[in-house]
Amino acid sequence: MEMSTQFATAPAATRQISLSGFSLINSPRLNKGTAFTDHERDVFHLHGLLPPHIGDLDEQIERRMQVLDEQPTPFAKYAFLRDLQDANETLFYALLVRNVEKMLPLVYTPTVGEGCQRFSEIWRKPRGLFLSYPNKDRIEQIFSHPRYDEIKSIVVSDGERILGLGDQGAGGMGIPIGKMALYTALGGIHPEHCLPILLDVGTDSEEKLKQPIYVGWRHHRVRGQEYDDFVDTFVNAVKKRWPHVLLQFEDFAGANAARFLARYRDQLCTFNDDIQGTAAIAATTLVSAVNVTGVPLEQQKIVVVGFGSAGLGITNLLAQFVQDKGLSPEEARSRFYAIDRYGLITESTKDVHPEQRPYARKDQEVQSWRPPSGEISLLDVVRNVKPSVLIGVSGQTGAFTQEAVREMAKHTARPVIFPLSNPTSRSEATPQDLMDWTEGRALIGTGSPFPPVNVNGKTFHVAQTNNSYIFPGLALGIIASKSRHVTDTMVKAAATELIRHLPTQTNKQGSLLPPIAEARSLGRSIAEAVGKQAIKDRQAQVADENALSRELDSNIWEPVYESYEHKEA
């Protein structure tokens, strides 16, 4: 399903600009390539710098698609699109908006993972900001340039836990760049309002440190108080430069992700997509599966494999949804079984964080489950609990074993299984294996896109439980409502709005999630729901819902070429 019906083709208002010649062509935000009119070529001294052919955006899209299709690998396509973004942003976003399903896996998961691993190979032009530890005293100076006056949203990473691939150092910049691209393509947020940032505090990847072409700071990671002070310096500089900005933390190590969210969420408008966005889309997809199985959410027994920041975020939000069904907080938490690297989390499990402890099972309850090794494995849990839902955010390939899945399928008519770790190489299981092990009965949601599965000679598509359904609309709603902070109820509102659009609400045979091609139009609906919740939570700085609607409209940008007139510098 294409997005052309959501795409505005009418030209935008005339824009006055002072650049000309090479400076204009080399500005990715303003460059139009062969679509500069003959008059614009006269006024801006472009004759001779461009081929004589005068084209339009539709023609350029067709030409770029032809070249893209000829690229031999997903990474080659990713590199091509990154170059296009750095050359002509309007064309880049028009290509994305009109071909969402085809482009999303190339600019986001799974290909962005390889893009981060090989970032130093393809870095050519500045995009976003690298804030390195040696420049910690220059952050305010770096932020002060007038080019950043219009910034409304920031995505920041320190590159330590990129998807399930681990420490990528400066290569982690691929994630903020990719996330911000989806802010624009799926949320409609203007590129001029978006700033990707990488906090380069070094890397503990010996491979990166020894790599001659590595573009980051060649130093082992700064940790402890020095690291915390650096992040604090960064956040304080952000608050000073942009008091009302939205700051999204992304792909920090689990322990840092949770504590930074706790530390800063009351200081400025901030959220963590790994924790909150993942939770929202996982909860939505589970509600969709419940629509199919007919077993009420409050009766589900849910095992979560990988109980870091993402696993905890998913569990907390699902527990809220369960409480909405009338259960007490204690009863809601009892529906969950959390597994980390030491097995099932119990009262006696070592290194349990305070926020995980409410989900620890009592030792007396699980005493008979414990094998001689002492660790209660996924298979042990499945045998004793007979769960109906299995969610994985462990980053461990093959964590969902055949034996455990087959055991689960013995006791559940429609096992709900979500291997959510990204990229595909880190998925807890492949959808085809899960279908084979459950005789085709599993309801599956994956973090990254997978090929369709074959069941008894029939082909079925697998729902991609992708955060991109949530965070672009969440960000747009936050920006449009001018929210002071991001509340848990605002994140829940995003999930609740997406639930309204689930195909399984009206068709039990439907896909678990809407077509990803609808993500841009869904982004507007989610943004409105988030903004209304911000008003209810008294976080919004717009007067009412009518003002919110006007702000939403004014903050949605369509990738079409503007007409230019010369403005004296």
- Which CATH number do you get for residue 334? 3.40.50.720
The pLDDT score that the predictor gives to residue 373 is 76
pTM, whole model, 2 decimals? Answer: 0.93
Between residues 269 and 7, the one the model is more confident about: 269
Flag whether pLDDT at 9 surpasses 50: no
Residue 44 lies in a domain: yes
Let me know whether 248 and 362 are in one domain. no
- Nearest 10 degrees: CA dihedral of 318, 368, 377, 344? 40
Residue 25 lies in a domain: yes
Q: Could you say which of 78, 93, 108, 359 is catalytic?
A: 108
Q: How confident is the model at residue 569 (pLDDT cuts 50, 70, 90)?
A: low
Flag whether pLDDT at 516 surpasses 50: yes
Per-residue burial over 546-566, b = 16 or more CB atoms within 10 Å of its CB, e = otherwise:
ebbeebbeebbbbbebeebee
Q: How confident is the model at residue 10 (pLDDT cuts 50, 70, 90)?
A: very low
Give mean pLDDT, residues 204-222: 97
Residue 282 lies in a domain: no
Let me know whether 435 and 319 are in one domain. yes
Let me know whether 106 and 242 are in one domain. no
Kindly report the CATH number assigned to the domain that includes residue 206: 3.40.50.10380
Does the annotation mark 32 as catalytic?
Answer: no
Let me know whether 132 and 201 are in one domain. yes
Boundary (domain end) residue, out of 252, 287, 305:
252
Does the annotation mark 179 as catalytic?
Answer: yes
Let me know whether 398 and 330 are in one domain. yes
| Cα 252 from Cα 256, distance rounded (Å) | 6
Between residues 14 and 122, the one the model is more confident about: 122
Let me know whether 309 and 453 are in one domain. yes
| Annotated binding-site members | 161, 250-251, 274, 422, 466
Q: Could you say which of 32, 152, 179, 532 is catalytic?
A: 179
Boundary (domain end) residue, out of 443, 465, 487:
465
Let me know whether 460 and 476 are in one domain. no
Residue 259 lies in a domain: no
Give mean pLDDT, residues 509-524: 93
- Report which secondary-structure segment, H or E, holds 153: strand 153-157
Contact present, 332 and 319 (Cβ < 8 Å): yes
Let me know whether 230 and 316 are in one domain. no
Boundary (domain end) residue, out of 465, 482, 498:
465
Q: How confident is the model at residue 255 (pLDDT cuts 50, 70, 90)?
A: confident
Copy the structure tokens of residue 176.
């903020």
Copy the structure tokens of residue 57.
């955006």
Range of the domain at 332: 295-465
Q: How confident is the model at residue 438 (pLDDT cuts 50, 70, 90)?
A: very high
Let me know whether 300 and 403 are in one domain. yes
∠100-529-315 over CA atoms, to 5°?
Answer: 80
How many domains would you assign to the chain? 4
Flag whether pLDDT at 3 surpasses 60: no
Residue 273 lies in a domain: no
Residue 286 lies in a domain: no
Number of residues in the chain: 569
The pLDDT score that the predictor gives to residue 157 is 98
Q: How confident is the model at residue 12 (pLDDT cuts 50, 70, 90)?
A: low
| Annotated binding-site members for (S)-malate | 161, 422, 466
When computed from its CA atoms, the radius of gyration of the chain, rounded to whole angstroms, is 24
Q: How confident is the model at residue 372 (pLDDT cuts 50, 70, 90)?
A: confident
Residue 274 lies in a domain: no
Let me know whether 452 and 506 are in one domain. no
Let me know whether 482 and 450 are in one domain. no
Let me know whether 243 and 301 are in one domain. no
